[in-house]
Chains A and B, each alone.
Chain A
Amino acid sequence: MTAVETDIQTLQLGKAIGAALHDALEADDKVFLMGEDIGQLGGVFRVTDGLQATFGPQRVIDSPLAESAIIGTAIGMAYRGYRPVVEIQFDGFIYPGFDQIVAQVAKLHYRTKGRVRMPLVIRVPYGGDIGSVEHHSESPESYFAHTAGLRVVTAATPQEAYSTLRAAIASDDPVLFFEPKSRYWSKGEVDRTIVRDLDTATVLVPGRDVTLATYGPVVQTALQAAEAAADEGIEIEVIDLRSISPLDVDTVVASVERTGRLVVAHEAPKEASVSSELVASVVERAFASLQAAPERVTAYDTPYPPSAFEESYLPSVDRILDAVDRALGRRHSRSATGSMAMQGGTR
């Protein structure tokens, strides 16, 4: 990769993130990357592959293994005028950096009445379905969405990943960029001239019967569910929320005003989650439009289980369809799975 290529390329999602980092490093010499194993190795997922060779070890920095320090020193760099893009190697490794993120990064702009800006991007490979051991498959986004001052975004396709990350790096607000690691190898077309906003959801598939809002790795699952439902003549409107904070409630409300029904899906557990907030906000603003109680398809409120349980734990096409059926008042599929469950089966 040399100059920014305007031609449309087919890239894996992980490579699209690498392309965004490359282009950002090239465009602004105040941008630098820091994280564990991101240099010589190119990251444990090879997302930063080749960047240290291109931009040098002073701009693609292998850091000591200390998450709080990765975030905290990035804050100091931002004070100095840099635009740090740091990587937390896995979702479950972010907690040692929690204080620096929620008490420092999030609040410095507010505390200083806008005099100190924190243009940090914190990249977090997140989510499950990769058959890994514990602390490697979590969805901690709600902790950060709950904190004022942070932007929290995700991406579901290579194009979204490229365009969102470029926008995140260009933003003067701190951004947590949650990368759906189970989709790192999914391919799609990427136009490297497109930079998106960090505030809006997007309607991926229009439909008249049910609104299905989701984000990150579950977008692909939702699209598959919409296809399956279409075979039965049910139109699901699929919305990729993209931004978790701020949450684009307007787009979801506008959809629910048309469909009257809402299903929200994500990999994170249910309690005090993005779906909690979205359902509450839609009920506040579109109560009269709702023809059925909103449904949620999420992970269960357990710790992330051993990977052998992932099939039951994570939202699946079938669980989404089941929720769609409930929202529509269709009883057959629920009773079918219900009777199976009574007999000890899951599918």
Chain B
Amino acid sequence: MSLIENRPLTVPAPNPALAAGLDEPLSVLHPDGSRHANELLDPHLGDVDEHALTDLYVDLSILRRIDAEAFALTRQGELLLWPPAQGQEAAQIGSGRALRDTDFVFGSYREHGLAYLRGVDQGEAMRVWKGVQQSGWDPMEHHLATPQIIIGAQSLHATGYAMGARMDGSDDVAVAYFGDGATSEGDVNEAMVFASAFQAPVIFVCQNNQYAISEPVAVQSGFPLALRPTGFGIPALRVDGNDVLAVLAATRIAVERARSGGGPTFIEAMTYRMGPHTSTDDPKRYRSEDEVASWREKDPIVRLERHLEQTGAPIARIREEAKIRCDAVAKELRAAVTAVSVPDHRTLFSNVYTTPTKRLERQLAEHDAFVASIEAAPGGHGDHA
């Protein structure tokens, strides 16, 4: 399939009409759990029954538990660092649940929910945060790129992947996850240029969690972030990111558009990072407790729980089921993290290239010789006299 056959003949001007939800983020669940109609989203939620709601509730709960467990492990010295996702569970689970396994996800470093949904072993994933590995899973097996720390860089990878899928004639899509701060990066803007020019089947999921470390989103932009993609001719959906059903529906709309040759979509999921940027951050220096409390009222898990209760679902049993699953995940995660041993230092030379160069072989030999000389020295590890 040609990459250029569907190129727009004219470059669209910035167009608020391309963005939905600019005045009020699209939603179907009120914070009190009640459901309201939304003509854009409702047609994409027809299959969401009690069983599906229960699954979503369990997913959200497990993600929160993974997050809490990992954060606790940093305090116990078991993990070096952790970037918490608390508060963003609906944005991650709702969007991730709209994808199929062959779609490829390119996330940042906070998308723990996507790793969970993609079947990544949580103990393996934690090896990154334990400091023994830089990728906690096989990206090709899980169709999930390795965590990306350079802000926004992955948006280009997702766009390129989508261009490739289109060249293959496949209806796979690619998804880039990034935050509000990333929308200021050149890479994200260049990704939108390429996505638009090549009508790439890519979905940009911007989790607007209101902060880039300490900088509030107002530092990045004086107008809704969802307006930006419209300048590239990319339609945007601005949704309540703490409403898992709204995020699910919006992502389904975007996926359907991408699969059917309709090109890229930008989703701005309005959410809030309840915790610090990472386990070493101190958010008290840049935001008030009142602000945090106001977002606690909009908690995505509490909202779904209230909704289940209002629809007559057996909430006590569901809660119990979720707790059992969460306990099991947490137990496994903790055991895996504490069992991680220091890797063989000789492997630091591995995989720099697909085949080792002479220079690296020489440096490995130097390393070995140095270690051997230390061990052989009086008082060294090898000195058993």
Instruction: Give the B-binding residues of A (Cβ under 8 A).
Output: 32, 56-58, 61, 63-64, 66, 68-69, 71-82, 96, 99-100, 103-104, 108-117, 148-149, 151, 171-173, 199, 246-247, 249-250
* A to B contact number (C-beta, < 8 Å): 146
Q: Is the CB of A111 within 8 A of B134?
A: yes
Q: How far is the CA of A63 from the CA of B186 in the complex (A)?
A: 16
Instruction: Give the A-binding residues of B (Cβ under 8 A).
Output: 1-4, 104, 106, 133-135, 138-141, 145-146, 150, 153, 155-165, 167-168, 174, 186-187, 190-191, 193-194, 197, 350-354, 357-359
* Set B3, B135, B174, B357: member contacting A76, Cβ < 8 A: B174
Chain A residues in 8 Å Cβ range of B353: 109, 149, 151, 173
Which residue from chain B places its CB closest to the CB of A72 in the assembled complex? B156
16 example contacts (A-B, Cβ-Cβ < 8 A) are as follows: A68-B187, A69-B193, A69-B194, A73-B156, A73-B191, A76-B157, A76-B163, A77-B163, A79-B164, A80-B160, A100-B153, A111-B134, A112-B146, A116-B146, A149-B353, A246-B359
Chain B residues in 8 Å Cβ range of A68: 156, 186-187, 190
Q: Is the CB of B162 within 8 A of A76?
A: yes
Chain A residues in 8 Å Cβ range of B350: 113-114
Nearest-neighbour CB distance to chain B for A75, whole angstroms, equals 5
* Set B4, B155, B157, B351: member contacting A79, Cβ < 8 A: B157
Most buried by B among A58, A73, A75: A73
Chain B residues in 8 Å Cβ range of A78: 160
Nearest-neighbour CB distance to chain A for B186, whole angstroms, equals 6
Nearest-neighbour CB distance to chain B for A277, whole angstroms, equals 10
Nearest-neighbour CB distance to chain B for A167, whole angstroms, equals 13
Q: Is the CB of B139 within 8 A of A69?
A: no
* Set B2, B135, B155, B163: member contacting A115, Cβ < 8 A: B135
Chain B residues in 8 Å Cβ range of A171: 354
Chain B residues in 8 Å Cβ range of A77: 160-161, 163-164
Q: How far is the CA of A171 from the CA of B3 in the complex (A)?
A: 26
Q: Is the CB of A103 within 8 A of B156?
A: no
Chain B residues in 8 Å Cβ range of A110: 134, 351-352
Q: How far is the CA of A76 from the CA of B4 in the complex (A)?
A: 18
Which residue from chain B places its CB closest to the CB of A246 in the assembled complex? B357
Q: Is the CB of A63 within 8 A of B194?
A: yes
Q: A111-B135, A115-B138 are in contact. List 15 more A-B contacts (CB 8 A).
A: A57-B2, A58-B167, A63-B194, A69-B156, A73-B160, A79-B164, A80-B161, A81-B164, A99-B150, A109-B353, A112-B146, A116-B146, A149-B352, A171-B354, A246-B358
Nearest-neighbour CB distance to chain A for B72, whole angstroms, equals 27
Q: How far is the CA of A151 from the CA of B163 in the complex (A)?
A: 26
Q: Is the CB of B351 within 8 A of A114?
A: yes
Most buried by B among A57, A72, A104, A250: A72
Most buried by B among A79, A108, A111: A79
Nearest-neighbour CB distance to chain A for B259, whole angstroms, equals 16
* Set B157, B165, B174, B193: member contacting A66, Cβ < 8 A: B193
Which residue from chain A places its CB closest to the CB of B159 in the assembled complex? A73
| Contact status of A100 and B156, CB under 8 A, knowing A108-B146, A111-B134, A172-B354 | yes
Q: Is the CB of B4 within 8 A of A57?
A: yes
Nearest-neighbour CB distance to chain A for B197, whole angstroms, equals 5
Q: How far is the CA of A110 from the CA of B150 in the complex (A)?
A: 16
Q: Is the CB of B4 within 8 A of A72?
A: no
| Contact status of A104 and B3, CB under 8 A, knowing A72-B187, A116-B140, A246-B357 | no
Which residue from chain B places its CB closest to the CB of A61 in the assembled complex? B3
Q: How far is the CA of A148 from the CA of B348 in the complex (A)?
A: 12
| Contact status of A79 and B160, CB under 8 A, knowing A68-B187, A112-B146 | yes
| Contact status of A72 and B351, CB under 8 A, knowing A64-B193, A111-B134, A112-B139 | no
| Contact status of A74 and B160, CB under 8 A, knowing A58-B1, A64-B194 | yes
Q: Is the CB of A66 within 8 A of B1?
A: no
Nearest-neighbour CB distance to chain B for A91, whole angstroms, equals 20
Q: How far is the CA of A64 from the CA of B354 in the complex (A)?
A: 31
Nearest-neighbour CB distance to chain B for A38, whole angstroms, equals 14
Which residue from chain A places its CB closest to the CB of B141 in the assembled complex? A115
Q: Is the CB of B187 within 8 A of A69?
A: yes
Q: How far is the CA of A76 from the CA of B163 in the complex (A)?
A: 8
* Set A76, A108, A117, A151: member contacting B156, Cβ < 8 A: A76
Chain A residues in 8 Å Cβ range of B352: 109-110, 148-149
Nearest-neighbour CB distance to chain B for A213, whole angstroms, equals 16
Q: How far is the CA of A158 from the CA of B380 in the complex (A)?
A: 57
* Set A76, A80, A96, A111: member contacting B146, Cβ < 8 A: A111
Nearest-neighbour CB distance to chain B for A1, whole angstroms, equals 23
Nearest-neighbour CB distance to chain A for B79, whole angstroms, equals 18
Chain A residues in 8 Å Cβ range of B2: 56-58
Closest 6 CB pairs of A and B: A76-B160, A72-B156, A80-B164, A73-B160, A69-B190, A76-B161
Nearest-neighbour CB distance to chain B for A28, whole angstroms, equals 14
* Set A66, A72, A148: member contacting B153, Cβ < 8 A: A72
